[in-house]
Chains A and B, each alone.
Chain A
């Protein structure tokens, strides 16, 4: 049973470009969470999704950021017109429908904006 898969592991983008981060949850998991982590800091909640539904996006910046979790395929976090301040590690986590007391994390995507 493969774990949570994120790709790419590292992503470099120039200011103004788009970044697309992908996350495939563990098999059987219907809850996906995205978190952002700056160096030496904690995990900041961004968005919580279930299949085809955004449940809570209260942690997402209102502009340039969007997320989806389609019926088929991975969850995507999209950042448009990236700026230097978007440089961070972005982690995806998944949990089964029955409980969110334990979340399984992917290895993260380290985004660097140059």
Chain B
């Protein structure tokens, strides 16, 4: 089977840095993706890691360690608009995409 674990909630201060972790258990691994979803909105793709290491896209970075079955999303210079839910996701060998339960990020002014 497949499962992804991520914290249900994280709180951080505006302007700070926050890391959202994701551990996974999959039968066959093809990479880790991250999505953002604002309340009432649709999930939107943020990043994908197919190989170990750090991928940077502006204020957001994502990291993967295949040997540890672990990844994280790093958000820098937090802004109030970053308040949202963040999901890690894995595509599997059957092309199905499985999502974690999401981490709700609260940002304090």
Chain A interfacial positions (CB closer than 8 Å to B): 31, 33, 35, 40-43, 45, 48, 55-56, 91, 93, 95, 100-108
Contact B45 A103 (CB under 8 A): yes
Q: List 18 A-B contacts (CB under 8 A).
A: A31-B95, A35-B99, A40-B104, A42-B101, A42-B102, A43-B43, A43-B99, A43-B102, A45-B97, A45-B98, A55-B94, A91-B42, A93-B43, A100-B91, A101-B31, A104-B45, A107-B41, A107-B42
B44 within 8 A of A: yes
Contact A42 B99 (CB under 8 A): yes
* Minimum CB distance partner of A110 in chain B: B40
For the complex, give the distance between the alpha carbons of A102 and B33 in Å. 7
Q: Residues of A contacting B97 with CB < 8 Å? A: 33, 45, 93, 95, 100, 103
Number of A-B contacts (CB under 8 A): 58
Q: Residues of B contacting A42 with CB < 8 Å? A: 87, 99-102
CB distance from B87 to the nearest CB of A (A): 7
* Minimum CB distance partner of B2 in chain A: A45
Q: Residues of B contacting A43 with CB < 8 Å? A: 43, 87, 99, 102
For the complex, give the distance between the alpha carbons of A43 and B94 in Å. 18
CB distance from B81 to the nearest CB of A (A): 18
Contact B100 A48 (CB under 8 A): no
